A and B are shown apart, each in its own frame.
Chain A
């Protein structure tokens, strides 16, 4: 594996005895570090993503050994998938199709509906994520840093946990209805509707929007705002002209990622909505399960094209709208207690108070319900039985059964390894994609593809490409187990590092880099000593995301962890689901606590802000 060379090179750099040789070596390593990292990144992508995924997607066009576009044509012209659009694709006149589209009984098709609910979910996630970013980036209060670290906890929760929390919160007999009844308000019938699904998507993705936006907001240079103010701009004008241009690329990042995730949504839609709201991924899953690979692959390619299209559109926007910054000194935070009882001080704080109430219902109540479920017995009384089950399973579980401690340990090990791998991968791709050159769009698309491909397809691909291996010149090369899991997780997580880091990098004042280069610093050195410190909050956020993605990853883990020794916490949760939800929710709370602590540690290790 290529990774070995890189490690060895780093070793040599660190171990040299003779000053001269050491300096020369370091120089050599530094000047090639970027290239080496780019090679390692490409290798990891090819081995743990491109090749495996290709083994499955190719089935859309190669059926029984013959190349065909028939499967595609069938999918594209099927009104079940494409609604009225399918008629256009099958050659009907655009005018007739447009008329049907305007009529009330138009058909969106599964693909259209999937996009529709993804748009709604994105709007809800941005609406719920932005106020959180405002609160976290602009105000000072006790526990702020911890709260910021914990924002992405919802991101790692397995869907069954979220379903349990949501049913207990928003269900007929849920907390919300109990509260409404107590206040004499009408009850709401939220479950098994599109609204419930959209709120659940916001539960997962608003934290993403909030975290990315907070990182960008914290990187806004205070002196730029002060300059604007000193030039006579009012606070609103200064915000619109200086702060907003630097923050809203991040908001768009969050929105684009949310769209892509909710477009590929799967278990949560059926758990909280029901089959009448089935999305494309539901069909991909069923088709793969029934071994109808051609149609599954065709649908997955449709998903890929749409998701990637959205990501690329956003990237074009990001490239055109990057603003120059020398971000070094963050804006001073305000106190939550208004300094003066003026309307201008009170209004934003009152708005935040209202937001906190809503966030309490959407984010905290489901998590609280989950925790409550873990300490509630079959008779409704409080009990620690479910935690006792975990301890018992740990002590007496058979060797081939999943036990809690190894699951915790593996989760932490894999996530740490994946983060350490995803960070350099993400940074190098961010550096490469913020330069301007022909074909950059292609590199962008290639780098972001892991976000856009159906998880089910990637899982099947990993099975074929890695676990079963490839035959090369009479040898079968295969990979599975811990190392493969870490690489696969890093590949899933690194796009987040790219997306959090690259807007900041693109916005950096080029003259900083150029003067450092002129002073003789290698490119790698400039990245390490100049550029990264300037976008440090984004690097830390990216690391947290990479960690979260690894912790939450299910499919690639179960595929690659052959044998019983490499399972993780989500696998344990899935295994402990039974007729009673107690044991699984107890394990879910363990996951919650362990990842929460990890996020706090990551952000503490990352520090608040490095600056120059």
Chain B
């Protein structure tokens, strides 16, 4: 653990997030004392960008610890790629792809990979951009369609750059490409479905079946305002029953449900579900914990549940998957280069690395998800435990834009009537 110790010391001496500024702005006048830092912000002659606070706009990106008086383009230094992601991608109690990806990438490329996992995930970078503090990462791994919609609504300037020429990108499955502006490149996908305890009951096969008396109080879902499984399930009901024009802004445009009944929308379905005693808890953790304790036999979760159950030697009968109406809501995850990246080329190399067949296989297994490309190398029995629905459902960027907030809010206002 010595490397770790020295890493820690290095960070203390000069906070990581600040190193690049310091190098670019020169150490003169920079203070880094006990976690406080002060640095010159742009005064017009240190680089082209208008925001003025981004000292590394010149793009040399060499963050060495003794970076005084170093010229641009020092090729002798190993460049560092900072990859931002969500925490469970690199640090989960079961498995996570972070460690393998870092080692493998560093062995294949002459680069050092650093993970960054801010608590607010993508919102952290939206905040950074909005406050002019500069983006201190090269790319983000773990973007969803909704993230992109939210980021684009919030920021006038581009947070992410177009992916451009990424080797291996053609292999990404057509149905997963969720960014109409070609910034995010999908690297895996997952499905939100029902998980039920097959030793005590048989889950209904359709949405309508969940309303049967025999399934009263049987389902635990999650708050769509805070949990991604909860939101996916809500979106699935919108796709199934239509939105009744909730987000139409008076232009008469509405999402039509697959059920073919224009007078019955997702809010009607949820009213019936609430009538049938559905539990909507705060987070996936809350819901899965309550389900594990036998509070209810069905929970909204991922279709890969059996992979984990198998890993832990649990009874697979207790971990059955149900795709309502043979469907599940798909949540493809993508990666995109920050517009302000210090190492844009290296970031794109990382993206094509993520799409290589063996890496795709490893990501799928270690993130317990499904590959985004056609030719991923997976063990032949992977599909036995990781189940895919016959008919994946998902909303496009355009469908979500301007609608998803209204859908969630309308649901909240109906469900939490006090």
Which residues of chain A have a CB within 8 Å of any CB of chain B?
Answer: 1, 80, 83, 107-110, 112-113, 160, 163-164, 167-168, 171-174, 191-192, 267, 269-271, 274-278, 282-283, 285-286, 289-292, 378-379, 389, 393, 398-402, 460, 463-464, 468-469, 471, 474-484, 555, 558-559, 562-563, 565, 575-581, 583-584
Residues in B230-261 with C-beta less than 8 Å from chain A = none
In chain B, what residue has the closest Cβ to A278? B416
**Cα–Cα distance between A290 and B223 once the two chains are bound (Å):** 14
Contact between B3 and A476 (Cβ–Cβ < 8 Å)?
A: no
Which residues of chain B from 89 to 120 have any CB-CB distance to chain A below 8 Å in the complex?
90-94, 98-99, 102, 114-115, 117-120
Among B9-17, B159-167, B346-354, B357-365, the stretch in contact with A: B9-17
Chain B CB within 10 Å, residue with most, of A110, A464, A478: A478
B226 at the interface (CB under 8 A from A): yes
Chain B min CB distance to A459 (Å): 8
Which residues from A are CB-within-8-Å of B39? Answer: 475-476
Complex: A269 Cα to B416 Cα, angstroms: 13
Which residues on B sit within 8 Å (CB–CB) of A402? 91
Inside 8 A of B223's CB, which chain A residues have their CB?
Answer: 270, 275, 278, 282, 286
Q: Which of B114, B118, B289 contacts A167 (CB 8 A)?
A: B289
B35 touches A484 (CB 8 A): yes
CB pair B91 A577 closer than 8 Å: no
B34 touches A (CB below 8 Å):
yes
Is there contact, CB below 8 Å, between B35 and A479?
Answer: yes
Smallest Cβ distance from B156 to chain A, in angstroms?
11
Closest 10 CB pairs of A and B: A270-B282, A481-B35, A286-B225, A468-B133, A275-B280, A113-B418, A578-B93, A399-B4, A271-B286, A558-B119
Q: Give Cα A1–Cα B36 distance, bound, in whole angstroms.
A: 9
Please state if A292 and B36 are interface contacts (CB–CB under 8 Å): no
The reply to whether the CB of B213 lies closer than 8 angstroms to some CB of chain A is no
Nearest A-chain residue to B292, judged by Cβ: A581
Chain B: minimal CB distance from A52 (Å): 12
- With A389-B93, A402-B91, A468-B133 in contact, is A109–B418 under 8 Å at CB? yes
Residues of A within 8 A of B226 (CB): 270, 282, 285-286, 289
CA distance A379 to B315 in the complex (A): 8
B37–A580 contact, CB under 8 A? no
Query: At the interface, yes or no: B154 with Cβ under 8 Å from chain A?
Result: yes
Q: Is there an interface contact between B93 and A562, defined as CB atoms closer than 8 Å?
A: no
Q: What's the Cα separation between A113 and B39 when bound, in Å?
A: 47
Which residues of chain A are near B408, meaning CB under 8 Å?
A: 286, 290
Are B12 and A400 closer than 8 Å at their CB atoms? no
Hey, which chain B residues are within 8 Å of A476, CB to CB? 38-41, 53, 133
Residues 41-60 (chain B) with a chain A CB within 8 angstroms: 41, 43, 53
B residues near A277, Cβ cutoff 8 Å = 416
Q: Which of the residues B115, B281, B295 comes within 8 Å of A275, measured between beta carbons?
A: B281
Note all chain B residues with C-beta closer than 8 A to A171. 290, 293-295
> What residue of chain B has the Cβ atom nearest to residue A582's Cβ?
B93
Decide if B87 is an interface residue (CB 8 Å cutoff): yes
A191 x B35 contact (CB < 8 A): no
Report chain A residues within 8 Å CB of B199.
none
Are B225's CB and A160's CB within 8 A?
A: no
Known A-B contacts A276-B274, A562-B15; the reply to A289 vs B53 at CB < 8 A is no
Known: A481-B12, A581-B292. A400 touches B35 (CB 8 A): no
Q: Say whether B94 contacts A579, CB under 8 Å.
A: yes
Q: How distant is A600 from chain B, measured CB to nearest CB, in Å?
A: 30
The minimal Cβ–Cβ distance linking B31 to chain A, given in whole angstroms, is 9
Is A463 in contact with B38, judged by CB distance below 8 angstroms?
Answer: no
Q: Bound complex: CA of A374 vs CA of B123, how far in Å?
A: 34
Find out whether the CB atom of B11 lies under 8 angstroms from the CB atom of A563.
yes
Q: A291-B150, A379-B313, A480-B17 provided; 14 other pairs, C-beta below 8 A?
A: A160-B286, A269-B282, A276-B417, A285-B226, A289-B225, A379-B314, A398-B99, A398-B102, A399-B1, A400-B115, A402-B91, A464-B131, A480-B35, A482-B34
The verdict on B124 contacting chain A, using a C-beta distance below 8 Å, is: yes
Instruction: Tell which of B4, B93, B133 touches A469, judged by Cβ atoms closer than 8 Å.
Output: B133
Chain B residues, Cβ within 8 Å of A283: 225, 412
> In the complex, are the beta carbons of B98 and A398 less than 8 A apart?
yes
In whole Å, how far is A277's beta carbon from the nearest beta carbon of chain B?
8
Bound-complex Cα distance A464 to B293 (A): 40
Q: Contact at B289–A581, with CB atoms within 8 Å?
A: yes
By beta carbon, the residue of chain B nearest A575 is B91
In the bound assembly, the distance between CA atoms of A603 and B87 in angstroms comes to 37
Contact A463 B53 (CB under 8 A): no
What are some 22 contacts across the A-B interface (CB < 8 A)?
A: A1-B36, A191-B295, A267-B282, A267-B283, A269-B282, A270-B226, A271-B281, A282-B225, A286-B226, A289-B225, A379-B313, A398-B91, A399-B1, A401-B98, A468-B127, A468-B128, A475-B39, A475-B41, A477-B38, A479-B37, A575-B91, A579-B308
Residues from chain A with Cβ under 8 Å of B91 in the complex:
398, 400-402, 575
The verdict on A291 contacting B126 (CB below 8 Å), with A378-B314, A398-B98, A563-B11 known, is yes
A400-B98 in contact (CB<8A) = yes
User: Is B281 a contact partner of A274 (Cβ separation < 8 A)?
Assistant: yes
Min CB–CB distance B89 → chain A (angstroms): 11
State A206–B282 Cα separation when bound (angstroms): 24
Question: In whole angstroms, how far apart are the Cα atoms of A401 and B162 in the complex?
Answer: 31
Among residues of A, the one whose C-beta sits closest to the C-beta of B30 is A475
Distance between A508 CB and nearest chain B CB, rounded to angstroms: 38
CA distance A537 to B285 in the complex (A): 40
Closest chain A residue to B217, Cβ basis: A192
A480 to B416, CA, bound (A): 38
> Which of B15, B35, B115, B417 counts the most A-chain CB atoms under 10 A from its CB?
B35
Q: How far is the CA of A286 from the CA of B38 in the complex (A)?
A: 33
Would A463 and B35 be within 8 Å (CB), given that A171-B294, A267-B283 are in contact? no
Cβ of B366 < 8 Å from any Cβ of A? no
Residue contact B295 to A285, C-beta cutoff 8 Å: no
- CB pair A563–B16 under 8 Å, yes or no, is yes
- Knowing A160-B285, A276-B416, A278-B416, say if A471 contacts B53 (CB, 8 Å): yes
Q: Which residues of the partner chain A approach B308 to less than 8 Å between Cβ atoms?
A: 579
- Asked if B157 lies at the interface with its beta carbon under 8 angstroms from chain A, I say no
Residue of A whose beta carbon sits closest to that of B118 = A562
Q: Is the CB of A483 within 8 A of B126?
A: no
Residues of A near B212 (CB, < 8 A) are none
Indicate which residue in A274, A463, A471 contacts B127 across the interface (CB closer than 8 Å).
Answer: A463
With A191-B295, A292-B405 already in contact, the answer to whether A475 and B38 are too (CB < 8 A) is yes
Does the CB pair A474–B274 fall under 8 Å?
A: no
Q: Known: A173-B293, A399-B3, A400-B91. Contact between A463 and B225, CB under 8 A?
A: no
Which residue from chain A places its CB closest to the CB of B416 in the assembled complex? Answer: A278
Q: Which residues of A contact B405 (CB under 8 A)?
A: 290, 292
B288's nearest neighbour on chain A, judged by CB, is A579
Assuming A276-B274, A468-B128, is B123 touching A172 (CB within 8 A)? no
Bound together, the chains give a CA A291 to CA B34 distance in angstroms of 32
Please, which residues of chain A bring their CB within 8 A of the CB of B15?
A: 480-481, 562-563
Which residues from chain A contact B153 at a C-beta distance below 8 Å?
291
Contacts of B8 in A (CB 8 A): 565
How far is B290's CA from A164's CA once the two chains are assembled, in angstroms?
8
A289 touches B123 (CB 8 A): yes
Q: Which of A107, A378, A398 contacts B418 (CB 8 A)?
A: A107
A576 and B93 form a contact (CB under 8 A): yes
User: Considering the chains assembled together, what is the distance between the CA atoms of A173 and B294 in angstroms?
Assistant: 7
Task: Evaluate contact between A191 and B290: CB separation under 8 angstroms.
Answer: yes
Q: Look across to chain A and name the residue whose beta carbon is closest to the beta carbon of B53.
A: A476
For A476, give the chain B residue with the smallest CB separation.
B41
For A269, the chain B residues whose CB sits under 8 A away are 282
B312 contacts the other chain (Cβ, under 8 Å)? yes
Question: Would you give the shortest CB distance from B324 to chain A, in whole angstroms?
Answer: 20
A163 to B418, CA, bound (A): 24
